[in-house]
Structure 1
């Protein structure tokens, strides 16, 4: 037998090993939990994965060391960066900032649009200025505005419009009697207006030895000017600017899907103070403070109800569509909505530690972690881009040297090759899909810890479930009532009177069942427990007993008339409670852990989305397992298992060729969760452990959202494949059209930026998936 403590240690060790196994490269994946400077006393900064990586999995010299570095909070600066339209932009900015003397560590992540750096003796203004030199806009992220957008600069959009006007004027005037010089000047103005940003970015890209799209476009535009193609040059730059503007706006929508969660929480709380209710900023409210939440208001902070009864809409946290009844002693979460009664709540978490704050933090970290497909594409692009430069130079020089065609024609074809071969659409094909899918899941009450786990979830063929608390409620309830010489109502009324003040789970189940059926307890007195056997109470002058069959056997009361029924109920996993006097048996109550209402529907939907096997793993006896299996409709079940047996069961499924997920509570089933390809924990809203250790967390304490998660993962994989193939086919078609002379430079740009935009829009469909 493995103790819970050992399970926890083994799980963490196995989990770390499993994550390391998933990591395709040290700079591509880092599954350790990062903490931002605005929410903890000390932060951790790790490389985002935008840096270089070779195929043997080792970091290059110019990549930030992967090991987490403990930092003082006031040294870690976090900025929102706008204008990045693919991961090569993030790499260019990262290399530029790393070259500055005051920057000690730097991490720029394209997926989330965030830059984290360690720098001493520097102001926000200086950082923003340096970022703008590289062609991007940065704004510091404040504590409250952690996940909120900085004000969107309209500069790029305005610049694109003005450039387009000059380009159109020049083109129209070229068909009039006005001298061609006027059109050329207008083209030049258009070129300069739209070309400042990519030109500046190209300069810093070349200086930091990063050959990104800005470098390719700038070289192509300058080349077109050199051969007198001013219209081509201006059109190339304007189309590039237009494409970047549209791409940036689209990508920002995917990033907003998570940042907007922060808007769910109120900025103020109504705090009880010296007998009065005072409005305070949530940042000023400490643990232990009493806050008042009226009907219709949002709960501002995590806490525990100390007075009041209400229904709480927890959809923002757990994805549950039906409000949950809450009373004194129950936990409530920031961002949830109080539907009815007024509540007094004792605050248990500071604003930066609330469930919703942790969800946002974990999801943004997940979006920063590259999936295997994305890691491969980025490594491919890192090698591919320099190769394209060499090929373009060869196209420009070699054919004319050997006497095939004119220098001007081949120079133009080389410029086209530079533009067409840019891998922008290919590089962006995966991260936008990953960010969109993880954002969708988070809004529906599911935390997916990274692209690796999203991809693996889409390949699952078998899911193993712990029984207790996963498929079943995890707490007993009444399943059968057998009355002998009195009615069922009388049996329950007597039982409720005896168990009225007991806190034993069986007693609680009997009282709850009686209350649900509007059965009042009989008037009893002198109720007392009989250690290890049951309880007793005087009712209408006679002593009644409620307890195990052994209690009645000791009193010499025969159960001959109901022995067969008792035996059958016990085989099915029921706990038997007998009700009677010292001389006669009056009734039998069977109590058992019951199947959750949502379980059967969830398992049916899992089969619909392509899960071939659903397997129940339990430590209970065969009879109990068989009954629950028949009620839930699982494909297979395995009973009487110890923790290590569950591990072996998961390994057995894997040996059969299945990609296996294990669903449990994150602690008791820790070894099996770590062994499976993916560990899925339930009830993450109430347990920090589940959030920290599982690969996927179902925030609600049921399986309702699991089918959606699998369906979403499979659709994400399908969209990623569509994006990659579409990007490759467009490139090949454009390349084929270069050499016969059917492709112009501006059409090459249109094909590249158009393909990137289509890929982004295709990925954004994941945000809308219901």
Structure 2
């Protein structure tokens, strides 16, 4: 059996849908190529091929169409990555080459991000040259009317020759009905019927429209590249008790870097010393700086506050959070949505159909009713230009690319247009409890005084738990730190398996553990027992403190809901989406949390139970989304129509899911749904504009109101309008 390989390329000079279509068609026709995915806005191409495919020939073929091309080679980390805090898919790509090999593009769309001002690109220079030639032609025609026709012919050929060359190359590569071919036919036809002035003007306007397309596409591309630019180019490496500045992309896993106050952090890592507020807004969109100290995770590109930090690097430059986000978005842009695939199929028949209609308009009236060949030939050429499919074909991918970029900048990652489109169709969402609806770690909820006060109970319990890594112990120590309690020293500490812990504090033996074990040491009154039972019924774990022979107090703990869980679930309900909690936790705790959140509960579930329930919901006719963060969520994530991994989850959950919420906010699930609906509205607006303008100009051309000039404006103008409308989606996700 032949093993399939996958190679990714960065394509230069590709700024419109027709560019992508030409590349896709040409490469797909090559030997041993199985599948091609091209992203206009990402400027990338992924080719799936057999081992015997000639990659060099693929590059040569794309170059022959007038584009520049360079492979995207994944770099390997210098050391094995031990902590994957990014939790995204696959290997991160190498940084895009700063300069493309192969010289300038033959293709007209030479303007792009990072290539300098538009007038320095080949397309910019060609447009300016064609414009200057047109101005000169008008001047010559005014001064020397007898050679006016020749002046406009020369002006037309200044712009048309490069266009015609691209049209011929595309035809040989399998795309005979390219926009360049339609433009060439229209210009030559105008020349034949002696409309030389209009022919020259139309060629110039066509070049202006393509240039505007390039600028608009560049804006969409810049939106995600701006994210990559957040990571500093240099870092302060601590080595052998000395600090030296090194390139950030040379940092190895395990290196220690110094981050000064106010500096951007140059790598993903873990704080080994120092504490301050970190501004994570550039990466996660979190509006409030997050206080972080030793052992806390930090991300490349975030901004240090007012204290120096020493950070141990946990991911190389190619594997950090931002690099993985950029890679995921680029790959997602190559994955077409159902609507986009439909438009692609439609355009394959649409363009030849336009050519046929234009030909019929040009020849039928003269043949059948003796109308003027010149008049109807002119109208046929105008229809040819009106029918160019660029605006229609770009209507969907432009909107999807803008949405994927906007979502990524806010920590909402979606693996392609199909996922983005599908999110808006969800009618039911099943959510895991621990780590998804809740924080995933217990917190102290109640300090219950019996023989001693609440703070004193906490003080003694904290003394017993010092040094323990048990989640409940950490919750107690965190509460003591939060309340500013000074923890006393404990001696003769002893852990009692399954019961609790004892130690001597201030000369007195103190026990802290389960109510049952406490009852073996002292009497627990009926009122106290009822209080403990009531806390248990709320899904809380209760530990009791006994000082000497006195019942001192109790501490209740529970894995509490995320701060935005209630609001997030209400937002989903407001969108008409049914929500249900699926958890392996005990029914009592799950029911208590469910009542607090106002959500339907299914508890004590195994992974296969969660998968089955998702399947049952789908059988009932729901379009189901599943949100989870653990290994036990993976089967259900895979079974759902859309699987969404919660930030901080396991790699298995993130690999299995179709989308990821990096912040871990429940409300972000509703934001994803709203972004999807907003995107689909934008797509329908784009399609409406593209077809509407064409319909209007088609009618006005046939009745003789408009001609070649408005025709080309109908095409290029619609393309620019559609692209700019799609770019509105780059506005921040609320």
- Normalising by the smaller structure, the TM-score range is 0.7 to 0.9
Secondary structure at the counterpart of residue 320 of structure 1:
coil
Q: 1:497-545, CA deviations, whole angstroms, 9 ceiling, x for partnerless residues?
A: 2222322211211121122112222443222211110011112322111
CA deviations on 1:392-436 (whole Å, 9 max, x unpaired) are 333333433334413222322221221112221111100000000
C-alpha contact (below 8 Å) 1:317/1:699 kept by paired residues: no
Match of 2:381 among 407, 415, 419: 415
> How far is 1:132 from its partner?
6.3
- Tell me how far apart the structure 1 counterparts of residues 481 and 732 of structure 2 sit (CA, whole Å): 41
Unaligned runs of 5+ in 2: 74-93, 100-112
For the Cα contact (< 8 Å) 2:37–2:335, is it kept in 1?
A: no
Aligned to 2:40: 110
Shift of 1:263: 0.8
Provide the C-alpha distance between the structure 2 equivalents of 1:518 and 1:649, rounded to a whole number of angstroms: 46
- Corresponding residue for residue 193 of structure 1: 158
> Does the 8 Å contact 1:666/1:673 carry over to 2?
no
Contact map agreement 1:198 1:214 (CA 8 A) in 2 = yes
CA distance in structure 2 between the partners assigned to 1:107 and 1:453 by the alignment? 16
Cross-structure match for 2:694:
731
- 1:96: how far off? 5.1
Per the alignment, residue 70 of structure 1 pairs with: 5
Structure 2 counterpart of 1:499: 465
Moved more, 670-679 or 393-402: 393-402
Q: Is 2:636 the partner of 1:647?
A: no
Q: What secondary structure does 1:250 align onto?
A: helix
- Contact 1:135/1:198, CA 8 A, preserved across alignment: no
Structure 1 unaligned runs (5+)? 1-64
Contact 1:416 1:738 in 2 (8 A): yes
Matches of 1:97 and 1:683, distance apart in 2: 38
- Determine if the alignment matches structure 1 residue 509 to structure 2 residue 475: yes
Q: Would you say 1:82 and 2:49 are equivalent positions?
A: no
Structure 1 match to 2:88? none
Q: Deviations over 1:605-653 (max 9, x none)?
A: 3344x1432322223344433332232233x233333333323332343
Counterpart-to-counterpart distance in 1, 2:36 and 2:472: 57
Q: Which residue of 1 aligns with 2:632?
A: 668
| Cα offset, 1:656, TM superposition | 3.9
Q: Is the counterpart of residue 293 in structure 1 residue 228 in structure 2?
A: no
Superposed CA deviations along residues 154-181 of structure 1, whole A, max 9, x for unmatched, are: 232233233224324544665x5x3434
Q: Distance in 1 between matches of 2:524 and 2:671?
A: 53
Q: Where do 1:234-633 residues align within 5 Å?
A: 234-555=200-521, 557-608=523-574, 610-633=575-598
CA-to-aligned-CA distance 1:267-309 (integer Å, 9 cap, x gap): 2222122332122223332222222222222222222222222
C-alpha distance in structure 2 between counterparts of 1:462 and 1:100, whole Å: 44
Q: Name the SS of the counterpart of 1:402 in structure 2.
A: helix
**Cα 1:388–1:718 shift into 2, 3 Å:** same
Q: Which residue of 2 aligns with 1:758?
A: 721
Q: Decide which of 164, 180, 183 is 1:214's aligned counterpart.
A: 180
Cα distance in 1 for partners of 2:115, 2:419 equals 33
Does structure 1 residue 159 correspond to structure 2 residue 126? yes
| Partners of 2:536 and 2:542 within 8 A in 1 | yes
Q: How does 1:118-137 map to 2 (within 5 A)?
A: 134-136=65-67
Pick closer, same or farther for the CA change 1:643–1:139 going to 2, 3 Å.
closer
Distance 1:514 1:102, change over 3 A: closer
SS where residue 741 of structure 1 aligns? Answer: coil
**700, 705, 710: which is aligned to 1:742?**
705
**Contact 1:147–1:260 under 8 Å retained in 2:** no
The aligned length equals 692
Supply the distance in 1 between the matched residues of 2:30 and 2:571 (Cα, whole angstroms): 54
Residue 387 of structure 1, CA deviation: 2.5
Aligned pairs for 1:644-723 within 5 A: 644-683=608-647, 687-723=650-686
Structure 1 counterpart SS, 2:253: coil
CA distance in 2 between counterparts of 1:245 and 1:717 reads 27
CA contact (8 A) 1:304 1:330 kept: yes
The worse-fitting range, judged by mean Cα deviation, of 468-477 and 393-402 is: 393-402
Which residue is equivalent to 1:43? none
1:545 and 1:711 map into 2 onto residues whose CA distance is 52
8 Å contact kept, 1:320–1:445: no
Residue 102 of structure 1: how far off its partner (Å): 13
Report Cα offsets for 1:39-60 as digits up to 9, x if no partner.
xxxxxxxxxxxxxxxxxxxxxx
**What secondary structure, in the 3-state scheme, does the structure 2 residue paired with 1:344 have?**
strand
**Bigger shift: 258-267 or 131-140?**
131-140
The Cα shift of 1:746 comes to: 1.5
The answer to whether the 8 Å contact 1:476/1:594 transfers is yes
Q: Secondary structure at the match of 1:338?
A: coil
CA, structure 1 residues 121+227, in 2 after alignment: closer, same or farther (shift >3 Å)? same
Partner of 1:669: helix, strand, or coil? helix
Where 1:264 maps in the other structure, the secondary structure is coil
Distance of aligned partners of 1:367 and 1:751 in 2 relative to their CA distance in 1, 3 Å threshold:
same
Residue in 2 that maps onto 1:92: 22
1:133-148 residue pairs with structure 2 within 5 A?
134-136=65-67, 143-145=94-96
How far apart, in 2, do the equivalents of 1:552 and 1:127 lie?
75
**Does the CA contact (< 8 Å) of 1:466 and 1:664 recur in 2?**
yes
Q: Say if 2:436 and 2:629, in contact at 8 Å, map to a contact too.
A: yes
Counterpart CA distance in 1 for 2:306 and 2:576 is: 40
Q: Displacement of 1:339 after TM fit?
A: 1.6
Q: TM-score, normalised by structure 1?
A: 0.84
Shift of 1:362: 1.0
Contact 1:82 1:136 in 2 (8 A): yes
Q: C-alpha distance in 2, partners of 1:315/1:498?
A: 39
Kept in 1, the 8 Å contact 2:267–2:316? The answer is yes
Q: Secondary structure at the match of 1:297?
A: coil
Q: Deviations over 1:119-168 (max 9, x none)?
A: 87969xx968x756534455777944459944245232233233224324
How far apart are residue 761 of structure 1 and its match?
A: 0.8
* Deviation, structure 1 residue 382: 1.1
CA distance in 2, matches of 1:256, 1:68: 36
Q: Give me the whole-angstrom Cα distance separating, in 2, the residues matched to 1:466 and 1:97.
A: 44
Partners of 2:554 and 2:275 lie apart in 1 by 34
Q: Distance in 2 between matches of 1:465 and 1:116?
A: 34
CA contact (8 A) 1:98 1:104 kept: yes
Q: Any conservation in 1 of the 2:615–2:639 contact (CA below 8 Å)?
A: yes
Alpha-carbon distance in structure 2 between the residues aligned to 1:203 and 1:269: 50
TM-aligned CA deviation for residue 728 of structure 1: 1.8
- Measure, in 1, the Cα distance between the counterparts of 2:38 and 2:556: 60
Distance 2:31 2:522 in 1: 90
Query: What TM-score, normalized to structure 2?
Result: 0.88
Cα distance in 2, alignment partners of residues 411 and 360 from structure 1: 50
